[in-house]
Structure 1
């Protein structure tokens, strides 16, 4: 005897979605309601604007006086920004047919006249400058080959590579009043990049390394010789002022980058050793 089982299927009808009635005429503000939902509704300045509390709104007169008193250097640079903005936007541009204006050339006009009328003195100073370049090179190589500290050498390699790229990318015209000498470095009146000065940058790299090793007298000697080198290069029109100033910055920059490179290599080496012995 067979038993028949019947299943009853009851269809469930979903309840119609009831939309929220928004009374537009009743003053309901959708933007404020949304801010309340996401939790960023504020009551004005005391809690900030949209979750941000502006720092400058907390300043007092006492704070401003302290800034000017204890942070005078950034304030000076702030005034410098405004001053040179006014100079830049009102200064007439140098015509394309005229040589570049260089303030360093103006300051060293008398020295240039002396060297142009006295070629022997120009050659002597060029030879002494070449000796100074040899001193820089010798010291930088000494720190690596003898003392086993490669930072200055790495910095010089970084610097001269970047100088070559920039010097080739923008080849500045040789100043019209340039006084060359066969005794100047590079010896033999060969062509060279103007931007930026490798003479100055190399001296800065060597001086910074001397300071790290507390060779203060030697560092100050290099700084004085570097300053004399800058004056001579301006007097002979061997570099523009911007080449020399950027040379100082390049020496500082690439010395710092060489230090960061060494730290990176050292940290990777330590991590590799820890991973090997773990």
Structure 2
């Protein structure tokens, strides 16, 4: 069973014409939306029955729980923490170089536009709701921002920048580079959680932001091409 066509939508309520076979076909041909529907019911049950975290307690973060052992290791070995922070800073430099390279050398501004959109939005959101620094934060002078200065927690610019670069690599069929960036991004996320430099939601939102702002940058480019075409037609 496929989704209803435009003509079929005008024949009355969609559910009125459904049969058991149609329902089975929906599950067979559209398993992902059906799975999302079940997850909606599950998480509604979880949300309405969980005990809220008191305002006097630290936030409950599953990522922090999963990386507790690694956090303990880094807290007892600050040199290792600084070494991983330095590697992470190198990775941020790789993202920056690639994004600037696409614009300055290859003449493709989409990743740069996406990054500018992303960091502007991150600045607005990060300033609007300033989250408390996670307990047990392990800073380092070689981490980015360099010097262990203040920074926005929501959302992760580290993760979003890597996603923007990775998406562009896939668009240009640089698949090996894209997979390498994705692996490094996952390792970066684990390191940020273990050092308590970000909450889990910061990283998840960073992934989404990378996709969203890449799409917006593409739409911006397309709108500018449309304007140029219209101007050429007028001339």
Give aligned pairs, total. 226
Whole-Å separation in 1 of the counterparts to 2:192 and 2:153: 11
Whole-Å separation in 1 of the counterparts to 2:111 and 2:30: 33
Q: CA RMSD in A?
A: 0.8
1:139 match = 98
- After TM superposition, which residue ranges in structure 1, 4 or more long, deviate above 2 angstroms? none
Q: TM-score, normalised by structure 1?
A: 0.80
1:128 match: secondary structure: helix
Choose between structure 1 and 2 for higher RCO, CA contacts under 8 A separated by at least 6 residues: 2
Bigger Rg, structure 1 or 2: 1
Note the alpha carbon deviations across 1:136-174, whole angstroms, 9 max, x for none: 000000000000000000000000000000000000000
The one of 127, 133, 144 aligned to 1:168? 127
1:114 match = 73
* TM superposition shift of 1:179: 0.4
Whole-Å separation in 1 of the counterparts to 2:204 and 2:78: 27
Whole-Å separation in 2 of the counterparts to 1:54 and 1:74: 20
Whole-Å separation in 2 of the counterparts to 1:120 and 1:186: 18
Whole-Å separation in 1 of the counterparts to 2:11 and 2:127: 48
The within-5 A match list for 1:73-222 is 73-222=32-181
1:264 match = 223
1:228 match = 187
* TM superposition shift of 1:52: 6.6
Which of the pair is proportionally richer in helix?
Answer: 2
The runs of 5 or more residues in structure 2 that have no matched partner are: 1-9
Q: TM-score, normalised by structure 2?
A: 0.95
Whole-Å separation in 2 of the counterparts to 1:128 and 1:53: 60
The one of 255, 260, 268 aligned to 2:214? 255
* TM superposition shift of 1:60: 0.8
2:29 match = 70
